[in-house]
Amino acid sequence: MLRINFKHTLFSIFLSFNGFSALAQDNWEYIDRSKIVASDTTTRGKYTLVFVNMQPNFSETVTNRLSEVFFEVYPKEAKLYNKNTTDSVFFVIDPGYDGVAAAAGRTIRFNPAWFDRNPGDVDVVTHEVMHLVQSYPGGAGPGWVTEGIADYVRLTMGVDNKGAGWSVPDYKESQSYTNAYRITARFFYWMEKNVKKGLVKKLDNAMRTKTYSDSFWKDHTGKTIDELWSDYGKNPVI
């Protein structure tokens, strides 16, 4: 899930934490120091992860696995899709956040209750850090593209999707490419294999540079998105 914060630049610096700036309380990146249970800063190569835990008794095993996934997949995503992505990232284990996980700016918040129920779902990281890599400007394009790409990256770069019981669903006539997430991710994977290799990378760049339009598909494949979906439905094997 991508959380876009349009007020980022309107908030003053509230506190400094481990060399990074956290912003005022109504901002996504604000960290209430009084609620921090533990924190750790790790740098490997050019990338730094600040891991902030606000949940007492949060699993150390899950903490370590989330960190390891970050350092395994984030550099790969950055190298392939956006070498100018942020080199410093916050992970916040936040019991006050009631989704699964969401990203904005350079901060990803995770719901600890999700990992209580799904301790193996560490590739939530793979999806969410791709949103940081994406860094699409407002009005860049449709949300189904954004989330479809993020789940496509989870599908192709995930560390342990099998261990999480995560997979893309089989094609059904009731589906649409606008369903986003795993349904769209599977369609993108099919196009990479059967239509044009490198298409997702071009799509990602078009979104980031705000040059995406409906003509993208015909310009790069010779067919409209609806024609491509029709072809996919006729032979959806991947």
Domain locations in the chain as residue ranges: 8-134, 143-234
Lowest mean pLDDT among 27-36, 48-57, 62-71, 201-210: 27-36
Look up the CATH number of domain 8-134.
3.30.2010.30
Report pTM.
Answer: 0.90
Res 8 pLDDT > 50: no
How many angstroms separate the CA atoms of 86 and 135, rounded? 9
Mean pLDDT score, 78-105: 97
Q: For position 1, what pLDDT does the model report? A: 60
Residue 28: the pLDDT is 85
- Classify burial at 235, counting beta carbons within 10 Å of its beta carbon; exposed 0-12, middle 13-18, buried 19 or more: exposed
Average pLDDT (85-92) is: 98
Is residue 76 scored above 50 in pLDDT?
Answer: yes
Of the pLDDT bands very low, low, confident and very high (cuts 50, 70, 90), residue 29 is confident
Top-confidence residue, 17 or 76: 76
Residue the block writes with tokens 């590739």:
123
Q: How far apart are CA 129 and CA 73, in angstroms?
A: 8
Tokens 């970050």 locate to 70
CA dist., res. 170 & res. 64, Å (int): 33
